[in-house]
Chain A
Amino acid sequence: MPSEAVRTGPLAGLRVLEISGLLGEYAGKLLADHGADVVLVEPPSGAPRRRLGPFVDGEPGPERSLSFAYYNTNKRSVTLDLDTGEGRAAFLRLAARSDVVLDGTGEPGHLEGRGLGHDVRARGNPKLVSTIVTPFGADGPLADYASTDLILMAMGGLLSLGGYADGVPVRGHGDQAWLAAGQFAAVGTMLAVLQADTTGSGQVVDVSAQEAVVMAHENAVQWYDLEHVVRRRNGGAARQAAVGVYPCQDGHVYLLAKGLGVFWDELVALLESEDVEGAASLREPKWKDDDFAASEAGKAEFETIFGRLALRRTKAQLYEAAKRVRIPLCPINTPADLVASPHLAARDYFVDVDHPATGRTLRMPGAPFKMTGSPIGVPRPAPRLGEHNAELLGTDALTTTGTGAN
C-alpha cells in the first residue's frame, strides 16, 4: 500500500535499492526515514538482522526481531535469490529504476562475482550511485579479513582507548563499528547523489568500516604524529579532579568541570551552597594547577569532598542542581531513564510504530534530528519478509520466493 505520493521528508523521490546486511542497514534506515523509497533486497532466508535480537518477548523468529523492526522502518522488502538467473534479472530490473544501490552485505566483490557489479548496473542508468560498505574497503591487502563489530573496533583503534586502565580493553556497546560504517555510508551516498544531480554521472562510494572507526580517534592520531605519544585507555578512574564518573546515591554521574569544561568556580559555588564540608578549600590556588588536579592526591581529595554531596543525592537530583547552575554534570542514564525523560518527551523523540506481525506497538527512537522545512512523520513499520514482492516484482515473485532452485 505504501505509495511514493504520501512520502514526506527531504529525500522524497529518491529511489534506493539496499542489499541487506549489517554494515549498511543504518544507512538504509537514514535514507528511508527521510523520505527515500528504499527497497530492501533479502535472500529467501531473510536478512541477517532478522536472526538477531532483542526479540518480542525474548522469543526468536524472523518477524519478531526488534532490532530488525528498528533498522528497517519505512523500507519495502523483496526476496531475491541472487544465485539464480531469475533473481539476478529481477535485481538488475530493480537497479535500473534506482538512483542508489546500497550494498550493506560487507562482502567485497560478491555482486561483481555474480555479474551484477556497478558497471553492469549503470548501463542505461549513468547517474547510478553504488555505495558499497565493507569491513576494510573494497580493496587492499586485508580486504578479505574476517570480522565482526569487535574485530573492527580493534582494527580501527578505538578498542585501544576503551575499558579500564588496569584491565582488558572493552568495546562501546551496541555494534557501534557497524553503525559508524552505516552513518558514513549515508553521508558518502548523499555526496555522490548531489554530485550525480549536478554532473549527470554516478559513481561508486567505497566505504570502509575500519576507517569509520578510525574517525573516532578523538585526537589519538595527532598525539602520535605530533608528540609521539600512544594514547591508552583510562576508564574506571577520573582523568583529573572533576573530570570523570562519580558515584551517587542511585548510580553514577559524569562530571566535566575542568579540562574541556571550564566550570570549576561554578561547581565550587554549588558545593558551598549545599554546605558541603571542605568545599571552600577547593578555592585554594593549587586546584588551578592542572598537574595537581590530575595527581592521585588531587583526584582523591576532590572525590572525598564531592562525594559528601553526591552520595546523598540521586543522579536526578544532581542533574537538577547542575542545570540550575549550568555546569556539565549529567546522569549516567539507563534505557529506562531515557524512556522516562521529560526532555525527550517534550521533544516527541520517541515514536510508536505498529508491528503487524505480533500486533504490538513498538516505542522506539524517532527522527534523529528535526528538519522543520521537510519534517518526517511516524515511520511505517519495517516490512515482513518479501512483503512487497508482488508490487515490485510482479510475476517474478512466485519464482523468487519459491525454492530458489535453478
Chain B
Amino acid sequence: MPTATLPLTGVRVTDFTWLGAGPYTTRTLADHGAEVIRIESGRRMDRLRILPPFRDGKREGSVDRSGYFADRNSNKLDVTINVKDPVGVDLVLKLIAGSDVVTSNFTPGTLEGLGLGYQRAREARPDIIFLEMGMQGAYGPDASLVGYGQTVSALTGLYHLSGLPGRVPVGTGTNYPDHVPAPAHSTFAVLSALWHRRRTGEGQYIDLSQAETMVSLLGPAVLDYTVNGVNAMPDGNRAEYAAPQGVYPCAGEDRWIAISVVTDQQWTALTDELGAQLLATRYPDMAARRAAHDELDARLAKLTESAEPFDLMHRLQRRGVPAAVVHTFGDLIASDPQLAHRGHFAVLDHPEMGPSVYNAPPYRLRGVDGGDVRAIMRSPAPLLGQHTRDVCSRLLGLDDAKIDELAAAGVLA
C-alpha cells in the first residue's frame, strides 16, 4: 500500500510568516501535506529562533535549538534568500510562480515594499492565493501598528474581560490570539480559498486582521453592549450556566481543582462526595446557589483544600460531576492518559535538539492512516537554510555552481 494520502498533497506554499500566529497557520498546511517553504534570511531570521526554551537550556552557537520555534514549524522546508537583493526577489517570484499560496504576517505593506506584494505575485502566478495577516488588517487608520498576541488581547477586549472583578485584568497569561484565533481562522480562510479556486479557477487576496478574529470570538459581549447597553466586566471563573463554578485549592503545592455544577443532581453528588450534604438541602437549585455563590466558594475551598487533587477529580467524575485538576503542562505530558491514548504529543527527532515533543493537531482524520498521528507528524522543524540547495535546484532549476555563486554573493544567505 502507498503511504497515506494527505489532504493537501500537491499544494505549495511560499511562506513569509514568522513569530507566532503566522507559522502556526502554515504548520497546519504543512502537517497535512502541503509543501511549505519558509523564506528566511540570516540577516533577519525568525526571532523565535533565539527565544527560549532551548534543548537543555543551551542557546549558544545555534539558531536551531528553540522549542518555541520548533513547535510552530514541523514538516516545513526552510530556505535563506536575501529579499533586499533584487536577485533574491526574482528567485522568490519564480518560487511564487510555482506556488499555490503565499502567506505573510509581516505588517501589511512590507511585502509590497520588497517588490513581493499581491500584484507582483499575481503577475507571477495568476491564480495565487495571497494571505496577509496583520495585527489589525491591511487597511484602516491603525493598520501599520506593530503588535503581538498580548497587544491583540488588549485591543480586542479579551484582556479586559478576563480576570477577577476589582483587580487588574489578566487575559489568559499567554499570547492567546497567536495560538488559536488567528491561526485557526487564517488556516480556514486559506482552505476555503483553495476550495473556491477549485470551483472557479480563481485565486484571491485575503486580508486577515488578527484582532478581528479575536473579536469574532467575543460576539456575545459585543452584542450585550450594542443591543442592551451592557459593557461587560470581568467575570472570573463564573458562568451563567453553572453554579457554583470555580477553582478550588487542593493538597500540594499550587494544586487546584476546577468544579462546575450544571445540574441539581451534580450538586447533590458533589456535596455527598465531600460530606457536606447539608449544603444540598440548603441550596437546592441554581437560583439559590447563584445567590450564595461567594459563600459556596468559601465552603467548597475548605472542603477541597486537603484533598489529593487527582483522587478528588476521579471520585467526582465517577459520580458525574464536571471536575478537573488544573493540569500543568508537566502533568499533561508526563501522565495524562487521554492525551497519551490519543497520541497528542508527538516526538520528532531533530538534528540538533534530538527527540523532542511537538503538539499534533487537535483532531484525527480517520481516513488518513486510520487517524495515526505519525502520518501527520513526520518531520521536525527545519534548520535555518536547511533546504536552500534542495529548493534552488529542484524548484528553481539552479545548478550547484550557480547556487554556490549566489551563496557567495550573499543572495542565498
| Contact A175-B239, Cβ < 8 Å, known A210-B339, A230-B330 | yes
Taking a contact as CB atoms under 8 Å apart, the answer to whether B162 and A336 are in contact is: no
| Contact A54-B171, Cβ < 8 Å, known A148-B260, A219-B67, A362-B227 | no
| 12 additional A-B residue pairs with CB within 8 Å, beyond A174-B217, A211-B361 | A141-B341, A153-B258, A154-B326, A181-B362, A205-B363, A210-B339, A215-B362, A217-B329, A225-B356, A335-B157, A347-B137, A374-B202
Can you report 7 residue pairs joining A to B where beta carbons are below 8 Å apart? A137-B338, A145-B324, A173-B158, A174-B221, A235-B173, A328-B147, A362-B226
Which residues of A from 67 to 82 have beta carbons under 8 Å from B? 67, 69-71
B185 CB within 8 Å of chain A: yes
Q: Shortest distance in angstroms between A58's beta carbon and chain B's nearest beta carbon? A: 6
Q: What are the 9 closest A-B residue pairs judged by CB atoms, nearest first? A: A373-B204, A203-B367, A222-B67, A235-B170, A211-B362, A173-B161, A254-B154, A183-B184, A10-B196
Taking a contact as CB atoms under 8 Å apart, the answer to whether B163 and A66 are in contact is: no
Which of A278-286, A364-372, A384-392, A398-406 is near enough to bind chain B?
A: A364-372
Which residues of the partner chain A approach B56 to less than 8 Å between Cβ atoms? Answer: 226-227
Which residues of the partner chain A approach B57 to less than 8 Å between Cβ atoms? Answer: 226-227
Q: Annotate B238-260 by CB proximity to A: 1 below 8 A, 0 otherwise.
A: 01111001110100001011101
| Residue from B176, B256, B362 within 8 A of A208 (CB atoms) | B362
Taking a contact as CB atoms under 8 Å apart, the answer to whether B145 and A371 are in contact is: no
B28 CB within 8 Å of chain A: yes
Q: Shortest distance in angstroms between B345's beta carbon and chain A's nearest beta carbon? A: 7
Closest B residue, CB atoms, query A237: B168
Which residues of B from 271 to 313 have beta carbons under 8 Å from A? none
B51 CB within 8 Å of chain A: yes
- Using C-beta atoms within 8 Å of the partner chain, give the interface range for chain A: 35 or more
Which of A83-91, A291-299, A302-310, A338-346 is near enough to bind chain B?
A: A338-346
Q: Shortest distance in angstroms between A252's beta carbon and chain B's nearest beta carbon? A: 6
- B180, B193, B246 interface centre (most CB from chain A within 10 Å): B180
Taking a contact as CB atoms under 8 Å apart, the answer to whether A226 and B145 are in contact is: no
Q: Shortest distance in angstroms between A375's beta carbon and chain B's nearest beta carbon? A: 9
Q: How far is the CA of A230 from the CA of B328 in the complex (A)?
A: 7
Which of B75-83, B88-96, B208-216, B403-411 is near enough to bind chain A?
A: B208-216
Which residues of the partner chain B approach A117 to less than 8 Å between Cβ atoms? Answer: none
Q: How far is the CA of A343 from the CA of B179 in the complex (A)?
A: 24
Which of A37-45, A189-197, A267-275 is near enough to bind chain B?
A: A189-197
| Contact A54-B228, Cβ < 8 Å, known A369-B207, A371-B204 | yes
Q: Shortest distance in angstroms between A106's beta carbon and chain B's nearest beta carbon? A: 12
Taking a contact as CB atoms under 8 Å apart, the answer to whether A217 and B365 are in contact is: no
Q: Shortest distance in angstroms between A280's beta carbon and chain B's nearest beta carbon? A: 25
Taking a contact as CB atoms under 8 Å apart, the answer to whether A211 and B155 are in contact is: no
Taking a contact as CB atoms under 8 Å apart, the answer to whether B173 and A161 are in contact is: yes
Number of residues on chain B facing chain A (CB within 8 A): 157
A139 CB within 8 Å of chain B: yes
Taking a contact as CB atoms under 8 Å apart, the answer to whether B217 and A333 are in contact is: no
Taking a contact as CB atoms under 8 Å apart, the answer to whether B365 and A371 are in contact is: no
B389 CB within 8 Å of chain A: no
Q: How far is the CA of A156 from the CA of B226 in the complex (A)?
A: 33
Which residues of the partner chain A approach B151 to less than 8 Å between Cβ atoms? Answer: 254, 256, 328-330
B44 CB within 8 Å of chain A: no
A241 CB within 8 Å of chain B: no
Taking a contact as CB atoms under 8 Å apart, the answer to whether B168 and A148 are in contact is: no
| Contact A187-B28, Cβ < 8 Å, known A235-B171, A362-B226 | yes
| Residue from B202, B207, B262, B363 within 8 A of A184 (CB atoms) | B363
Taking a contact as CB atoms under 8 Å apart, the answer to whether A369 and B186 are in contact is: yes
Which residues of the partner chain A approach B143 to less than 8 Å between Cβ atoms? Answer: 343
Q: Shortest distance in angstroms between B41's beta carbon and chain A's nearest beta carbon? A: 17
Taking a contact as CB atoms under 8 Å apart, the answer to whether A216 and B191 are in contact is: no
Which residues of B from 196 to 235 have beta carbons under 8 Å from A? 196, 198-199, 202-209, 212-213, 215-228, 230-232, 234-235
Taking a contact as CB atoms under 8 Å apart, the answer to whether A373 and B203 are in contact is: yes
Which residues of the partner chain A approach B119 to less than 8 Å between Cβ atoms? Answer: none
A397 CB within 8 Å of chain B: no
Taking a contact as CB atoms under 8 Å apart, the answer to whether B317 and A145 are in contact is: yes
| Residue from A167, A188, A330 within 8 A of B154 (CB atoms) | A330
Taking a contact as CB atoms under 8 Å apart, the answer to whether A225 and B227 are in contact is: no
A214 CB within 8 Å of chain B: yes
B109 CB within 8 Å of chain A: no
Which residues of B from 340 to 375 have beta carbons under 8 Å from A? 341-342, 344-345, 353, 356-357, 359-368, 371
| Residue from B137, B162, B172 within 8 A of A216 (CB atoms) | B172
| Residue from B6, B224, B330 within 8 A of A54 (CB atoms) | B224
Taking a contact as CB atoms under 8 Å apart, the answer to whether A190 and B188 are in contact is: yes
Taking a contact as CB atoms under 8 Å apart, the answer to whether B366 and A205 are in contact is: yes
Taking a contact as CB atoms under 8 Å apart, the answer to whether A30 and B188 are in contact is: yes
B153 CB within 8 Å of chain A: yes
| Contact A365-B212, Cβ < 8 Å, known A148-B260, A221-B71 | yes
Closest A residue, CB atoms, query B325: A154
Taking a contact as CB atoms under 8 Å apart, the answer to whether A222 and B357 are in contact is: yes
Which residues of the partner chain A approach B371 to less than 8 Å between Cβ atoms? Answer: 204, 206
Q: Annotate A156-189 by CB proximity to B: 1 below 8 A, 0 otherwise.
A: 1111111110011111111110011101111110
| Residue from B157, B209, B361, B367 within 8 A of A204 (CB atoms) | B367
Which residues of the partner chain A approach B209 to less than 8 Å between Cβ atoms? Answer: 347, 349, 369
Q: How far is the CA of A374 from the CA of B323 in the complex (A)?
A: 44
| Residue from B51, B213, B360 within 8 A of A260 (CB atoms) | B51
Taking a contact as CB atoms under 8 Å apart, the answer to whether A146 and B164 are in contact is: no
| Contact A170-B148, Cβ < 8 Å, known A226-B55, A235-B173 | no
Which residues of A from 204 to 247 have beta carbons under 8 Å from B? 204-212, 214-227, 229-236, 245, 247
Taking a contact as CB atoms under 8 Å apart, the answer to whether A226 and B338 are in contact is: no
Q: How far is the CA of A164 from the CA of B256 in the complex (A)?
A: 14
A393 CB within 8 Å of chain B: no
Which residues of the partner chain B approach A160 to less than 8 Å between Cβ atoms? Answer: 326-329
| Contact A216-B176, Cβ < 8 Å, known A54-B220, A194-B194 | yes
Which residues of the partner chain A approach B257 to less than 8 Å between Cβ atoms? Answer: 154
Which residues of the partner chain A approach B395 to less than 8 Å between Cβ atoms? Answer: none
Which residues of the partner chain B approach A264 to less than 8 Å between Cβ atoms? Answer: none
Taking a contact as CB atoms under 8 Å apart, the answer to whether A215 and B179 are in contact is: yes
Which residues of the partner chain B approach A364 to less than 8 Å between Cβ atoms? Answer: 219, 222-223, 226
